[in-house]
């Protein structure tokens, strides 16, 4: 099993205006493809996350 890393995921200690806390990590729910709009809401391959919606 391979895990795709989300470049928009940061440790809580580096939380600087990010939008959400998912499992102890601050994530950008507006542009992170693994947590788009909500924790664990991943976009399909080839899609991006824009304003919290997969496109």
pLDDT at 5: 54
pLDDT digits 0-9 by tens, 1-55: 444 555 555 555 555 655 678 887 778 888 999 999 999 999 999 999 999 999 9
DSSP code per residue over the chain? ------TTEEEGGG-SS-SEEETTEEE-TTT-TTSSSSTT-PPPTT--EETTEE-
Domain boundaries along the sequence of the chain = 1-55
pLDDT, position 17 = 57
Predicted pLDDT at 1: 44
């Amino acid at each position: 099993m391979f895990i795709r890393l989300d470049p928009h995921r940061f440790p809580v200690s580096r939380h600087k205006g990010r939008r959400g806390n998912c499992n102890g990590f601050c994530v950008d729910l507006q542009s992170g493809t693994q947590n788009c709009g909500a924790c664990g809401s991943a976009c399909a391959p080839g899609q991006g996350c824009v304003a919290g919606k997969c496109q």
